[in-house]
Amino acid sequence: MIDQRPEEGESRKVAGHWEGDTIQGQTRKEACVVTLVDRATRYLIADLLPRCNAESVNRSVPQFADSGLPCKTVTVDNGMEFASHAKLQKKIATPIFFAEGRNPWQRGSSENTNGLLRQFFPKKTGFAAHSSAQLR
């Protein structure tokens, strides 16, 4: 849980503490966007997923971890797309923490960033019709 995250990750002074989330498309079974936002720098990494499920997240997120950017912790919500967090944690060799349910402010950077992305991709957007280039 988030209360076990290192104090350094709470301060926003050190890069490498990420917040992860997804932006849903029309339904959970369709394409979506996974986002990772660094708490200190607010640097965003986003990827289109063919389906919004744990398997797709576990395929995509390790690419972020291999990017050479510092990755000390990842904090996510309790969505089903993070259900295989133990496998993901092994793949990225980074501890994963969970925000408490119904407390989106515990991942304020990702919630704010996803809100900004919603200006370009409103709710009910079908992400299958979009490309990675459009997301960038």
- The answer to whether residue 135 sits within a structural domain is no
Residue 49's CATH number? 3.30.420.10
CA angle 102, 106, 109 (to 5 degrees): 120
- The answer to whether residue 127 sits within a structural domain is no
C-beta separation of 72 from 105 below 8 A: no
- The answer to whether residue 54 sits within a structural domain is yes
| Number of domain units in the chain | 1
Q: Which residues of 93-125 are buried (b: 16+ CB within 10 A; e: fewer)?
A: ebbbbbbeeeeeebbebbbebbeebeeebeeeb
C-beta separation of 20 from 110 below 8 A: yes
| Domain hosting residue 111, numbered range | 15-120
51 Cβ contact list (under 8 Å, min separation 6): 29, 30, 31, 32
pLDDT tens digits for range 69-120: 999 999 999 999 999 999 999 999 999 999 999 999 999 999 999 999 999 9
- The answer to whether residue 89 sits within a structural domain is yes
Does this model's pTM top 0.85? My answer is yes
